[in-house]
Amino acid sequence: MQEVVHGIAVVIEELFSLQVEPVLTRTEEQFGDYATNVALQISKQLAKNPREVAAAIVEKLQHKDIAKVEVAGPGFINITLTDKALADMAGQNPHQSLAGKTVVAEYSDPNPFKVLHAGHLYTTITGDAIAKLLETAGAIVHRLNYGGDVGRHVGMTMWAIVKELGGENPKKLEDVDPEKRLEWLSARYVEGNSAYEKDETAKAQIIANNKRVYELHVSNDHDICRAPAVSNNFSNGVPCYPWCKDVQRVEL
């Protein structure tokens, strides 16, 4: 593209005796491959209509990589490249504009208490594609996907699980069909969400659940999080928490 930019600069110097460095920007597909507003920029210096300046540049501009060039709007110049030029550009090493920079790319982050669907696949693929583009531009990319194992949705689901099991009985979770565990969790999530919205007593219990889960993470007590059989002294559904995390890991 530098050759095209140089060609525009040469035409402007020949026509108007001005030395400028035109800037090309990507444009919408129907308008071509690139556009420049250089005619608008120099028209004030020339005391001329920007469309007339653009028309003069377009008439004189010729380059082997340009298939079509035309004036648009108040004085923009739209440029369509040849197929060969586009193919050659695709084979070039991209400019390392992000070299030496570190970027954190967070994506996917599905709700662990809902069944995965095509929407989750879309955000995962899109996020990974963006991360790869950043890497191609030279960045060091750290990909992150948070499992969503803390938050109000956790408290709501814990509340509904305890209600469904008739108390804090983690061992009863073993009776849930392994093939349908996420669907079972999703149903509890829906029940907990409904209770949170409609029942003040349930809402208070859900908030208490949420606080206990946060406390486990703040204290970094992984033994408690991973051992429901010895966690029965923790009220408000926390004993079921490790089981939910395991279901989430399997599904993801």
Domain count across the chain? 3
241: pLDDT strictly greater than 80: no
Entry pTM:
0.58
Find the domain containing 166 and state its range: 152-251
Q: Which two tokens stand for residue 59?
A: 């008439």
Structural domain includes residue 96: no
Q: Measured between alpha carbons, how far is 126 from 157 in angstroms, rounded to an integer?
A: 29
Structural domain includes residue 189: yes
Do residues 53 and 43 lie in contact, with contact meaning Cβ atoms separated by under 8 Å?
Answer: yes
- Do 11 and 72 lie in one domain? The reply is yes
Higher pLDDT: 142 or 219? It is: 142
Structural domain includes residue 190: yes
Which pLDDT belongs to residue 166? 87
Which pLDDT belongs to residue 127? 94
Structural domain includes residue 203: yes
Residue range 172-194: mean pLDDT, rounded: 90
As beta bridge partners, residue 69 has 79
Of the listed ranges 38-47, 96-105, 169-178, 192-201, the least confidently predicted one is 169-178
Structural domain includes residue 97: no
The pLDDT tens digits of the residues spanning 83-136 come to 999 998 888 888 899 999 999 999 888 777 777 788 888 989 999 999 999 999
Give CA separation, 130 vs 120, 127, 146, 181, in Å. Answer: 15, 5, 17, 32
The pLDDT tens digits of the residues spanning 151-180 come to 888 889 989 998 998 887 788 888 989 888
